[in-house]
Structure 1
C-alpha cells in the first residue's frame, strides 16, 4: 500500500488513495482555486500548475486549477482526470523527493485545513433527485398506501426521479431556516400558512457530471460512468407536511426547493474502484437500455447523527450503506438521457434517500420515527419525530480499506427558526382594506 510523506492517520478520510477535489481560499490569498485533500492538509493545485507539473497532460495552458469551480476541469474527461490523479499521487508519495524535499515549494503548496475556507466546489447548472432505494420507496408506500400497494407499478421498471432546484444547493455548514408554506391537516376544511412542522433530513449521495452529451444523443448505460467525475454526500432537506398538501398531481415543489446541502470534497470515482460491488438483484429484469453486466454499486458506509441545543454531543440515529440502492448511477444517467436530454458539466444527480432493510438503516426521520408513531429516544431523555429548531444534523460516509479509509468528510446543517414574515400583520391590513 502506497503512503504519503504527509502523515495520515488510518482513520482519516483523506489518505493518498483518496485525493478528493475541492475549492478553497486562504486569508493570505482570497482567490478561489482548486485543491486536493491529503490528511489534515490541502494541496494547492494552482501552485503545482504554475510550476509546470501538469504540462504533459491534456490541460496544458488551460489553467483549470486557477478557476473558482471544478467545472472546467470536470469537462476535460476521464483520461485527463486519471493523468492528473497519477501526477498528484506520485508527488505525494513518501519515496518521491520532488515535493517532500523542496521546502519552498512545499510551504507554498500545502495549507493546513484549519487555515482555509472551503467553498461550493461546483457551479451546479441542473439538479436531478432520484428515488433509487427500494427499501425507502417501500417504507413510504406502506405508510401512505398500505403493504399491498407499497410500490407504484412503475418503480421496478424505471429509475424514478424529479428535477430539483440547483440555486438552493448549499455547502455543508450552512444554516437552514425552517421553511414556511401551506399545509392542511386531514381534519381541516382549508389550508393554513405557517412554519413547517414536519421538517426532515434525507440521507443521500450525489454524483457530479463531467463531460455531458449532445442534445438528442443519449448516454448508453455501459458508457455512463465515463461521464461521472466524482461523488459527494447530500442531505436533501424535506418539509413533509408542505409536501403532503402540494405534491398532487405534479410532485415535490416547495417542500424540496428551500435547501439541499452537499459536502465540500468531491471524491473521484477512480478512488472508489477498490470498493465496487454488485447492487441488489433487479426483478423484473430491466429493459435492454438499462441492462449492464458490470457491478455498478459501491460499499460506502453512511452514518447520520443529530445534536440538539441541549445535547452535549451528537448521537448517531442511523447507519446505512450506499450498496442498498436498487438503481445504479449508470442506470440513472442512461434513463435520464434516453429521451435525448442533455447533461452538462457540473450537473448534480442525487440518489434519493438511502435506506436499508433494518430499522437503524433508514435514511430519514419519516422512516426512523415511522411518521411520528415511534419517537427516537436520546440519552439525555429528549425524543424526536421531526427536526426541531437548533438541531444540527451530521452525515458522514467512508469506504473501509485495509488500514485506510476513502472518506467523504461530512455534510452538516443546523436548523434555524422560521423567519418573521409578518404575515398576520399583512392579513390584518388586507382585511382592513376590504
Structure 2
C-alpha cells in the first residue's frame, strides 16, 4: 500500500481561495472530487475548496495546463468520476499535486484560476460515479454483536464472522446522491414468531451509518487482488446510509440475505474524499480480542495491519417535521468511529476478489454499519432502541422507535490528527416521505 505524506498534506499549506484556510471540512489539504451542475448546465467534474468548486471542464479549456497535465485532469472533468477512480495510486497522487499547486497561495495561475471557481451553494450535485455493482460488508463488529444479541442472546456472532469479511450484493439502481427522498418502503412483514405475513408500509424504517468505498478495480475475471496491493485499489470514500426496513428484512432474510428490506434506497454523499487525502489519517488496525483467530494468509499483510485502518469520526443527526416547525436544530443521535471496524478496506477488497470476481472502477463497497462499544455510539436505531423495545425521546418531546414520515437523517464525518489539517466529508441527507404509490392497495 503506497501511502505517502507529501507537501499537499502540510498543515502550513495555504490557499489563495479566501474561504479555504481553516475551513473545517474543505481546506486545501482535502480537495475532494464531485460531479456538479449549475442551472441548466451539463454535469461535470469539480474539486471542492473552501466554499467554492473548481470547475475542471473550465480548467481544461483555460489553457493553464500542459498537455500531459490536461490529459490527467480530464479523467475527472466529465459526466462521471469512474475514469478518475480507475487511475493508479501514483496517477491519483499526481492529479492531487497538480490541483494543489494551482490552488496554493503564491500560485502564478491564481488570478486566472479564480475565474474557474463557482460557489458551492449554487451547485446541484449528482452521483459522483456510475455504480455498476454495489456490495455491502458487515465489518462493524459492535453492530454485528449488538444486532446478533436480539436473535441469539447467548451467541450473537456466528462462527464465520471473525474469519471472513461478510457481505451481501446490493442493488446499484437505487443508489442516490444526498438529498433524494426516502419513499417509505412497503413489503411483507410478520409479527415476531408468526408465520403469516401481511403487506403494507414498513413500521421499522431505520438508518445504517456506513462509509462507501470506491474501488479502483481492473483485475481480470479469475484474478484475485493480493492483500499487499488491495489498499491501492481504494480510490476514495464517501458517507453512506444503507437505509433498512427492519420488519421486511426480518421476514425475508430466511434463509437468504437482504433483499427488499434494503434495496429501496441507498444514500451517498456527493463528495469523494480521495485515498491520498486520507493518508495522514490511516492507523494501525485495532488488535483483535484474545482468542480471536488470526486472519488467513490471503487477508493478512503486515503493512496493511500497520497502517491500513481508517480513522474517521462520524455523527448522525435527526430533524423531524415538528422540530423544523418549531425552529429546533437537528439533534445528534449518535457518534461512532471507523476505528471500531473489524476488517480494513484492503481486507474487504482482497476478499471480494479472492474468488476471481472482477471489480470495476466505480464499484461501491459499503463498510457495514459502524458502531462503537459505548452506548452513545450505536450506528442504527435498531441498536439504540434495543431492537425496537425502548423509545428514545427527542428535544421536541417526540419519541421514536424507528423513523417516521417527515424525519430527516443527516450524516457528517471528519478526520483530525495532531500535526495535520482537519478534513471533512460533507453530508449525506435523506428525508422519509409517504409512499404515494400504494394507498388503499397496501
Q: Normalised by the size of structure 1, how large is the TM-score?
A: 0.93
| 1:303 maps to 2:315 | yes
Of residues 287, 293, 315, the one that matches 2:302 is 293
Partner of 2:102: 91
Partner of 2:24: 12
Gaps of 5+ in 1: 426-434
Deviation track 1:333-388 (CA, whole Å, cap 9, x = no partner) reads 11111100000011000100000100111100000111122221212211111001
| Kept after mapping to 2: 8 A contact 1:36/1:42 | yes
Report the secondary structure of 1:284's partner residue.
coil
Of residues 314, 317, 334, the one that matches 1:318 is 334
The change in CA–CA distance for 1:64 and 1:264 in structure 2 (over 3 A counts) is same
Aligned ranges 1:183-198 → 2 under 5 Å:
183-186=189-192, 188=194, 190-198=196-204
Partner of 2:4: none
Deviates more, 1:109-118 or 1:253-262: 109-118
Deviates more, 1:123-132 or 1:381-390: 381-390
Q: Normalised by the size of structure 2, how large is the TM-score?
A: 0.91
Partners of 1:304 and 1:130 in 2: how far apart?
Answer: 20
Aligned ranges 1:135-150 → 2 under 5 Å:
135-146=142-153, 148-150=154-156
| Kept after mapping to 2: 8 A contact 1:49/1:65 | no
Deviates more, 1:379-388 or 1:17-26: 379-388
Report the secondary structure of 2:106's partner residue.
coil
Structure 1: 4+ residue segments shifted above 6 A:
none
| Kept after mapping to 1: 8 A contact 2:189/2:198 | yes
Partner of 2:381: 365
Report the secondary structure of 2:412's partner residue.
strand
| Kept after mapping to 2: 8 A contact 1:159/1:327 | yes
Partners of 1:75 and 1:414 in 2: how far apart?
Answer: 32
Report the secondary structure of 1:48's partner residue.
helix
Report the secondary structure of 1:69's partner residue.
coil
Partner of 2:35: 23
Residue-pair matches, total: 419
Report the secondary structure of 1:412's partner residue.
strand
Aligned alpha-carbon RMSD (Å):
1.7
Deviates more, 1:31-40 or 1:7-16: 7-16
Partners of 1:278 and 1:34 in 2: how far apart?
Answer: 33
Partner of 1:431: none
Deviates more, 1:378-387 or 1:240-249: 378-387
Aligned ranges 1:162-241 → 2 under 5 Å:
162-186=168-192, 188=194, 190-241=196-247
Deviates more, 1:49-58 or 1:237-246: 49-58
Gaps of 5+ in 2: 1-11
Of residues 153, 160, 178, the one that matches 1:154 is 160
Partners of 1:279 and 1:403 in 2: how far apart?
Answer: 20
Partner of 1:114: 121
Partners of 1:36 and 1:66 in 2: how far apart?
Answer: 10
